[in-house]
A and B are shown apart, each in its own frame.
Chain A
Amino acid sequence: MEDGMKNGWVKLAVQGVMSDAIPNSDSQVVILQDEQKTQTLPIWVGTAEGTAIRMALEGVIPPRPLSHDLIRNLTEQLGLKISKVVVTDVQNNTYYASISLSGRPSELTVDARPSDAIALAVRAGSPIYAAQDVLDRLAPENVAPWLKLLGTKDFGGTV
């Protein structure tokens, strides 16, 4: 938590996953918010990744391990822990994330898409952070429509 402050990171929680507002869109939107619910980060993800996140939020245990279950199982078996995931940057509308692994003498970080990072974090119970800079660069008009939908019945997988 302390290093989070130092690096200008904000701890976020997944509020839910919903379909994109554009009809027939192949993407879903993951809504992340800080503890005070004053900062909101919407992240567009593919259907497969959106479903992977939603299933973990809803506590669905699939009969066979899905791709992100396998990544978590691989790391667990090797004695590694997903200590946190961080949405680190946004460039040309592409968000970047990193996954931190502890269990070795030094912490390891792996580059990832936010969708995979979040799908892993919700399975491993790891905290999710975003760089304050990423949140600062969000245009309010991109966040407002999702805020309106928060807590409505259109909003799937509310935590």
Chain B
Amino acid sequence: MFDPYTNAYIIILRDDGNAEMLPIWVGKPEASAISFAMEGVATPRPMTHDLMKNVLDTADAKVISVVISDLKDNTYYARVHLLYDDSEYSIDARPSDAIALALRAKTPIFVNDDVIRKHSSEEMDRWLENLKPEDFGKFDA
């Protein structure tokens, strides 16, 4: 989805039961990397995240999952979990790259419970910050 207010794109993640929803703002190249994978668009040459997956495939490294692991000061953090030579690796990533890779590797995307909680509270903070005195005016006369 395109967000005209921030001139950025929004990725909407939902859980299986549609009970939780997490919007993540991403840049244009990352948004197209994600929508290409969702729509099954095959490009004549490997795009950046196709290359990422091809590098891992060639090295026999397997993406197990990606996790949206944290939210700090409006920035989401993700981790890519890999299996390589019988060892597990966890690598820091932006959620946009992690999601673009997960869709190509057909691996699950998880969101840490904390992130959902923090997301709701940061949203509340933003709402409170944006409140102006006149918003209260209509109630106190």
Please list the residues of chain A having a beta carbon within 8 angstroms of any beta carbon in chain B. 46, 48-49, 63-68, 70-71, 73-75, 77-78, 80, 94, 96, 99, 101, 104, 108-113, 116
A101 touches B45 (CB 8 A): no
B91 touches A113 (CB 8 A): no
Q: In the A-B complex, list the 7 residue pairs whose CB atoms are closest, starting with the nearest.
A: A48-B29, A67-B48, A108-B58, A113-B45, A116-B51, A110-B58, A64-B94
Q: A108-B59, A111-B46, A113-B45 are in contact. Are A67 and B97 (CB under 8 A)?
A: yes
Interface size class of B (residues with CB under 8 A): 20 to 34
B54 touches A111 (CB 8 A): yes
A101 touches B59 (CB 8 A): yes
> Please, how many angstroms separate the alpha-carbon atoms of A96 and B46 in the complex?
10
Please list the residues of chain B having a beta carbon within 8 angstroms of any beta carbon in chain A. 28-30, 33, 44-49, 51-52, 54-56, 58-59, 61, 75, 77, 80, 82, 84, 89, 91-94, 97
B93 touches A70 (CB 8 A): yes
Residues of B within 8 A of A111 (CB): 46, 54
Can you name 18 A-B pairs with beta carbons within 8 Å?
A: A63-B75, A64-B94, A65-B94, A67-B30, A68-B48, A70-B97, A71-B48, A71-B51, A71-B52, A73-B91, A74-B55, A74-B91, A78-B84, A80-B59, A109-B58, A111-B54, A113-B47, A116-B51
